[in-house]
Amino acid sequence: MEQRQEPRRRTGGRSARVVRDVLKATLDELSRSGFTALTFEAVAARASVSRTTVHRRWPSKQELVRAALLCLAEVQPTARDTGTLRGDLVEFIRIRVGLEGQRERFAGLLRANMTEVLDPELMALGRLVEAKLDQPIVSAVDRGIARGELPPGTDPRLIVAPVFMTLAFRVFVQRDDLDPGFAEQLVDVVLAGARTGAAVRRACQAP
Amino acid sequence: MEQRQEPRRRTGGRSARVVRDVLKATLDELSRSGFTALTFEAVAARASVSRTTVHRRWPSKQELVRAALLCLAEVQPTARDTGTLRGDLVEFIRIRVGLEGQRERFAGLLRANMTEVLDPELMALGRLVEAKLDQPIVSAVDRGIARGELPPGTDPRLIVAPVFMTLAFRVFVQRDDLDPGFAEQLVDVVLAGARTGAAVRRACQAP
């Protein structure tokens, strides 16, 4: 469940392991305490390395958090290509919303995002990470359009948002369990709507 | 914008005003500080009454918060009946997600809900308040079904959730501005899907 790739592959075993452990510890601390309360000491302790080891590579808290957030998108488990858009979306739901470990982490990061006024640079980084996290789902929608499952010009945001934000709200914010029957019917409603052409990008909207 | 009804109508002017001010102050404090950090002192100060006045009527913090949350659903601005389900949903979006004052309050309450492990009684109360808040929207969907805009047996949750949780996630959690063009097309996608019968309650699901 917690299979992770190293954020940057290095040949050196220990160095790569330290980077991976520190960035994972940073994400854990960030989702537990938020940005303001996050300390080098807590990250170092959680990663079982010295404070100096952390500080040498990432001199500021901003840099450390930036590296950890950029790594988050890369270590996501990948969904297999099921051959249908419906199948792919159900698979992404399982991976993004259904896994226990993911749930805790995402809920914590969202809480940090809601609670704190981050500096503009980190806010922009948050948007970038969200976009990177959504990219594989957007690609699955694009594959569905290419296969003719949805009309050309369909806006992937109008598929991704109502499925994943709705479930994220229920699971991460309202702390409900994921109801697979509800989730699958939600996918069916959104796809049925999109098949009618209702999700085709409108000329009058911003691109 | 902040038109509010008294939670319980009383003939006595001052008494009713005190109840209203204290419950409003409780909601403000709750959305600002959360449940754990909420104090009688802060509520009393914000409502410009004495701590004793608050304590006499609501002996415990649980009782005070319960009264305030139950009042929240009652003081919501009401959406006018536009005569179409699409019009009603757009009107509810404006009221629930679009108003500046509402946004701050709901974001704060969601943050409190995400951050704290509330006691089971308050958790149950939160669910009750959510259900009461959604009730006018569910009724609008039911009116649409009765008018033949959607097939009989349509599950209102499959309309309300993808529209309002998606927008709540964007606005309250991700702190994006409400994009009216996106919101209206989201309504169109969900309604188009529901018109195909995809949102009709399935026999195999829990009722």
* The pLDDT of residue B146: 97
Looking at residue B24, what is its pLDDT?
Answer: 93
Kindly list the residues from chain A whose CB atom is less than 8 angstroms away from the CB atom of residue B199: 185, 189
* Euclidean distance between CA atoms A199 and B188, whole angstroms: 8
Which residues of chain B have a CB within 8 Å of the CB of A115?
Answer: 111, 115
Q: Which position has the token pair 């990008």?
A: A201
Inspect the interface and report whether the beta carbons of A165 and B163 lie closer than 8 Å: no
According to the model, what pLDDT value does residue B152 have? Answer: 97
Q: Give the N- to C-terminal CA distance of chain B in Å, as an integer.
A: 37
The pLDDT, as a whole number, for residue A207 is: 46
Cβ–Cβ contacts within 10 Å for residue B1, how many?
8
Among A129-138, A154-163, B34-43, B170-179, the range with the most confident prediction by mean pLDDT is A154-163
Q: Residue A63 CB: number of other CB atoms within 10 A?
A: 11
Residue A88 in tokens: 């792919």
pLDDT at B39 (0 to 100): 95
Query: What residues form DSSP beta bridges with A200?
Result: A154
Which stretches of chain A drop beneath a pLDDT of 70?
A: 1-12, 117-118, 204-207
Of B130, B166, B204, the CB nearest to A162: B166
Please give the pLDDT value at position A6: 47
Band of the pLDDT at B205, cuts 50, 70, 90? low
Contact state of A185 with B205 under an 8 Å Cβ cutoff:
yes
Nearest CA in chain A to B162: A162
Q: Which residues contact B36 (CB under 8 A, 6 or more apart)?
A: B116
- pLDDT at res. B207: 46
Residue B81 has pLDDT above 80, yes or no: yes
Do B131 and B139 contact (CB within 8 A), yes or no? no
The verdict on a CB contact (< 8 Å) between A188 and B169 is no
Q: Residue B185's pLDDT band (boundaries 50, 70, 90)?
A: very high
Contact A53, A18 (CB under 8 A): yes
Query: Measured between alpha carbons, how far is B42 from B61 in angstroms, rounded to an integer?
Result: 12
Report helix, strand or coil for B78. Answer: coil
> What pLDDT sits at residue A112?
78
Q: Does residue B12 have a pLDDT over 80?
A: no
What average pLDDT does range B8-30 have in this prediction? 83
Q: Which residue has the tokens 């590296």?
A: A67
Which phi and psi (to 5°) does residue A114 adopt?
A: -75, -30
Nearest CA-CA distance, residue A194 and chain B, Å: 6
Q: Do A161 and B198 touch (CB under 8 A)?
A: no
% helix / strand / coil in chain A, to the nearest 5? 70, 0, 30
pLDDT digits (tens, 9 = 90+) for B106-141: 888 887 777 776 677 777 888 888 898 899 999 999
Across the interface, do A202 and B181 touch by the CB < 8 Å criterion?
yes
With bands split at pLDDT 50, 70 and 90, how would you rate the model's confidence at B41? Answer: very high
In chain A, residues with a C-beta closer than 8 Å to the C-beta of B185 are 155, 158, 198-199, 202, 205
Q: Which of B166, B181, B205 sits opposite A165 (nearest CB)?
A: B166
The minimal CB distance from B107 to the residues A114, A169, A206 is found for A114
- Please give the residue of chain A at the shortest CA–CA distance from B191: A193
What's CA A85's distance to the chain center, in Å? 19
Could you tell me the pTM of the whole model?
0.85
Per-residue model confidence (pLDDT) at position A145: 98
| Sign of the alpha-carbon dihedral angle for B48, B50, B55, B57 | negative
Bridge partners of B200?
A: B154
Instruction: Please determine, for residue B6, whether its predicted confidence score (pLDDT) is greater than 60.
Output: no
| Chain B residues touching A158 at Cβ < 8 A | 182, 185-186, 189
Q: How far apart are CA A67 and CA A10, in angstroms?
A: 16
The kind and range of the H/E element at B100 are helix B100-115
Rounded Cα gap, residues A89 and B117, in angstroms: 31
Interface of A with B (CB under 8 A): 107, 110-111, 113-115, 130, 155, 157-158, 161-163, 165-166, 168-170, 172-175, 181-182, 185-186, 188-196, 198-199, 202, 204-206
What per-residue confidence (pLDDT) applies to B147?
A: 97
How close, in Å, is residue B17 to chain A by CA atoms? Answer: 32
Query: Would the pLDDT of B66 be above 50?
Result: yes
Q: Tell me whether residues B130 and A174 touch, CB distance under 8 A.
A: yes
The whole-angstrom distance between B199's CA and the closest CA on chain A is 6
The pLDDT of B160-186, averaged and rounded, is 93
- Run of H or E residues at B181: helix B180-195
Average pLDDT across chain B, whole number: 87
